[in-house]
């Protein structure tokens, strides 16, 4: 098993460009696995972790409902936002400046073969990171992602998640609101869930700006422990 993960911080990148890049890494890993089975080889598969920040974009998962996007094509253009139907699970979500997006592209056979466990560990990474900022974040039963004040009238989501997996290889991942413009969430029914708010770390802390580089270090620290992994800069 190979628990080494190649780490890349892509900075600010167009959603489609990063989606294409994910697809290529995803395909490369699966190609190795197919070759190993056909030719009875034992070539190691690679693992990747991408950090990125996207310009304003709305994405709809394969099980999502287009009616949860509350803007026309013309209104999207006026807001400088794009829209994509994509191949992850989940409904609609927003990505934009001030949001840390993480895409782990892992061969789970290098770690464990359990998608449920994978999602729960991603959530745990976020929960442990937010605890370092004094926030008591948690899961909401039946709703993937990380929340604050669950089971109260003030429940609000701070991190969305959606993944795709095939042959135990993952892509897509999580989107944590750090310094996000929450107004853009007013244009959708986030994750198809009505009546629950969305929040951002800077809002919860009452700060103008949270240092995103420090937060990324905290995320990686917890990911490394939870997945018993080693990061290597690519």
Provide the CA 125 distance to its chain's centre, in angstroms.
12
Tokens of 143: 């709703």
Q: How far is CA 38 from CA 41, 74, 170, 230, in A?
A: 8, 50, 21, 29
Provide the CA 32 distance to its chain's centre, in angstroms.
25
Pairing of strands 82-85, 57-60: parallel
- Contact predicate 159/146, CB 8 Å: yes
The Cα 74–Cα 189 span in angstroms is 19
Of 191, 198, 201, 229, the active-site residue reads 191
Element (H, E) at 187: none
- Contact predicate 84/59, CB 8 Å: yes
The yes-or-no answer on residue 191 being catalytic is yes
Element (H, E) at 31: helix 15-39
Active site residues: 191
């Amino acid at each position: 098993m190979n628990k080494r993960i190649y780490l890349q911080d892509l900075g600010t990148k167009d959603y489609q460009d990063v989606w294409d890049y994910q697809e290529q890494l995803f395909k490369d890993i699966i190609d190795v696995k197919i070759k190993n089975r056909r030719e009875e080889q034992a070539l190691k598969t690679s693992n990747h972790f991408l950090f990125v920040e996207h310009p304003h974009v709305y994405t709809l998962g394969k099980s999502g409902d287009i009616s949860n996007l509350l803007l026309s094509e013309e209104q999207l253009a006026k807001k400088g936002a794009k829209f994509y139907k994509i191949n992850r699970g989940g409904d609609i979500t927003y990505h934009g400046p001030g949001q840390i997006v993480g895409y782990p592209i892992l061969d789970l056979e290098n770690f464990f073969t359990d998608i449920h466990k994978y999602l729960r560990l991603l959530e745990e990474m976020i929960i442990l990171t937010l605890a370092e900022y004094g926030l008591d974040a948690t899961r909401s039963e039946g709703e993937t992602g990380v929340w604050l004040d669950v089971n109260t009238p003030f429940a609000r989501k701070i991190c969305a998640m959606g993944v795709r997996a095939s042959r135990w290889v993952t892509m897509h991942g999580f989107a944590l609101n750090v310094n996000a413009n929450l107004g853009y969430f007013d244009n959708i029914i986030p994750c198809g869930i009505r009546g629950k708010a969305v929040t951002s770390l800077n809002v919860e802390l009452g700060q103008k700006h949270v240092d995103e580089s420090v937060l990324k270090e905290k995320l990686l620290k917890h990911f490394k422990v939870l997945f018993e992994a080693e990061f290597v800069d690519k």
